[in-house]
Structures are given as structure tokens and as C-alpha cells.
């Protein structure tokens, strides 16, 4: 692992690092914010999964999370959204290929050799972080935006006991029943695969979730029909899951929306992580 950039931020460290990934078979980059409290010992960690077209850098520079992480004594990691490089398969569309990993493990050509984002986020990167930084592996939460909200919700349900809380901004809630999902799942997994295993609404309907859930979506989100928020809301109601789902009046899908409510999301996770 090579630290390629480091900046002081709110008396903590904003790091960017690159490493050779076994899961993705290419070099991967992530951002990591360590609050000032990390100088005295391990701190809890929030995972932030970004959306389509993003890299590790978008939320790291636009969401405004560092000030609130420093206030609550929490680290935050910003992984990339997909494998990258000249040897990695890609597509001309913005919603497939590099920048659009969907946090699943691809099984179909030409994606299977590199597009293993579920394994990368769930298994490989946690080990790398724990081995190199002062992080409390027993205290982790996860959040995400759009495609990353899909990833946060599904990973929280696929790995029960790992996360203390989960939140999402404008998550893709029901990808197997929308254009944001059917295209990608067909390409990455095949038409006959078990798509329900990667669908937040369907996973919620099957098993529910027993950690705190916070979801914010804007009433003016330009992708509202693709998100299918109502499917997840119905599933949580059917399973009687304790949650807060807020429709924020006038907000869209942008990082202006994320930055407007990031303080509340970090405070939500702090309550769970320091409980």
C-alpha cells in the first residue's frame, strides 16, 4: 500500500492510498479520513460508498464529512466505485463498466475477472485498513449515495452483525425491477442469476434488518422513478423494521443534497457506534 496524498483537515488526516487488489486484480485507490482522536487509539469507522461515475474523490471532497467525523471521533473510508485501468473491461455508457461496479461480484464475461466489488468491500479492504490504521474493527457503520446507497443497504443485510447502523442518500432501492439494475445485473450476473440477492427491497422483504436505518431522498430527485423508494418503504413496513425514511422537500440527487444532511447522518451513526 502506498499513501499518495495526505492533508491535514480539522486536526485529523485526510489520506489517499493505492494498493494492489487481489479481489479486483488491479490497483485500487481509496480515501480515508482519520479524526484527531485516532492519535490516541483506534476509532470507529464509517464506510461511505459513492454512486455512478464517482471515484474515491467525489464524496471525499464534496460531502463535507470531515468536520463532523472529527467532532464525533469517527474515521470514514471512501472506496472507489469500481476497478479501473487499461486492462479492465469498460463500456461507453455511464451506468456500466468503470465507475459503475454496483458493489456486486460479476460472474459474466468480460466483467468477471475484475468486477468483484462485493468481495473487495466486504473482505479485502477491511483487512487492509485494520492492518495499517488505528481503527476499531468491532465498531463499523455504512452509508452511501445512489448506487452506493444500494451497496450500503445490501451489504448491511448480507453481513449481519458487522455494522452497527446503515444510512443512505437517494439509494437505488429495487434494482431488479428498474432500468438501474436490470441492465447491469444482466451484464454482470446473467439473465438467469439470483438478482434478489443484490436487491435491497427484496432482501428487506425476506429477512428485514435489526440495526438502525436512516434514508433521505429528495422530492425533486431527477432519478426518482429509477430509485423505487416506495418498494423499500413497503418492505420495511411489512417487516416492521425500525427506520427513518425522510422525503426532503425540494432536494435533488446532487452532492448539494448530500452535503445538506451529512451532519445528521454522521450523528446518527455516532449514536450507534458509541452506544
Which CATH number covers residue 260?
A: 3.40.50.1820
Q: What percent of the chain has pLDDT over 90?
A: 99
81-105: average pLDDT = 97
| pLDDT value for 180 | 86
DSSP symbol at 38: G
Number of domains making up the chain: 1
State the pLDDT confidence band at 18, using cuts at 50, 70 and 90: very high
pTM greater than 0.75 (yes/no): yes
Provide the annotated active-site residues. Answer: 146, 221, 253
Question: Is residue 202's pLDDT more than 90?
Answer: yes
- Written as one string, the DSSP assignment of 153-211 is HHHHHHSTTT-S-EEEES----GGGSHHHHHHHHHHH-TTS-GGGG-HHHHHHHH---S
**For residue range 168-188, what is the model confidence (pLDDT) as tens digits?**
999 999 999 998 899 999 999
Q: Is the pLDDT of residue 114 over 90?
A: yes
| Residues contacting 132, CB < 8 A, separation 6+ | 1
Q: Are 169 and 258 in contact (CB under 8 A)?
A: yes
Residues 29-38 have pLDDT tens digits of 999 999 999 9
Per-residue pLDDT at 22: 98
Please provide the average confidence, as pLDDT, over all residues in the chain: 97
Q: Average pLDDT, stretch 104-115?
A: 98
Q: Residue 116: which residues within 8 A CB-CB, separation 6 or more?
A: 23, 24, 83, 105, 106
In which domain, by residue range, is 146 found?
2-273
Amino acid at each position: 500500500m502506498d499513501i499518495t496524498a495526505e492533508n491535514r483537515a480539522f486536526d485529523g488526516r485526510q489520506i489517499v492510498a493505492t494498493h494492489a487488489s487481489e479481489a479486483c486484480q488491479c490497483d485500487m485507490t481509496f480515501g480515508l479520513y482519520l479524526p484527531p482522536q485516532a492519535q490516541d487509539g483506534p476509532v470507529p469507522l464509517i464506510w461511505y460508498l459513492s454512486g455512478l461515475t464517482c471515484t474515491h474523490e467525489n464524496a471525499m471532497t464534496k460531502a463535507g464529512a470531515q468536520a463532523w467525523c472529527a467532532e464525533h471521533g469517527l474515521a470514514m473510508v471512501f472506496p472507489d466505485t469500481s476497478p479501473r485501468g487499461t486492462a479492465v473491461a469498460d463500456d461507453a455508457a455511464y451506468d456500466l463498466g468503470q465507475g459503475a461496479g454496483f458493489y456486486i461480484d460479476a460472474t459474466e464475461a468480460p466483467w468477471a475477472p475484475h468486477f468483484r466489488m462485493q468481495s473487495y468491500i466486504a473482505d479485502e479492504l477491511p483487512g487492509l485498513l485494520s492492518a495499517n490504521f488505528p481503527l476499531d474493527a468491532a465498531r463499523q457503520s455504512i452509508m452511501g449515495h445512489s448506487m452506493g446507497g444500494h451497496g450500503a443497504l445490501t451489504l448491511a443485510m448480507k453481513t449481519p452483525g458487522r455494522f452497527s447502523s446503515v444510512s443512505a442518500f437517494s439509494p437505488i432501492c429495487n434494482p431488479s425491477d428498474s432500468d438501474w439494475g436490470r441492465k447491469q445485473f444482466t451484464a454482470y450476473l446473467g439473465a438467469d442469476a439470483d438478482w434478489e440477492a443484490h436487491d435491497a427491497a427484496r432482501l428487506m422483504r425476506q429477512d428485514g434488518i435489526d440495526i438502525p436505518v436512516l434514508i433521505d431522498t429528495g422530492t425533486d430527485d431527477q432519478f426518482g422513478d429509477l430509485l423505487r423508494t416506495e418498494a423499500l418503504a413497503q418492505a420495511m413496513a411489512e417487516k416492521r423494521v425500525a427506520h427513518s425514511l425522510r422525503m426532503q422537500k425540494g432536494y435533488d440527487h446532487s452532492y448539494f443534497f448530500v452535503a445538506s444532511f451529512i451532519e445528521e447522518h454522521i450523528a446518527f451513526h455516532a449514536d450507534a457506534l458509541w452506544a
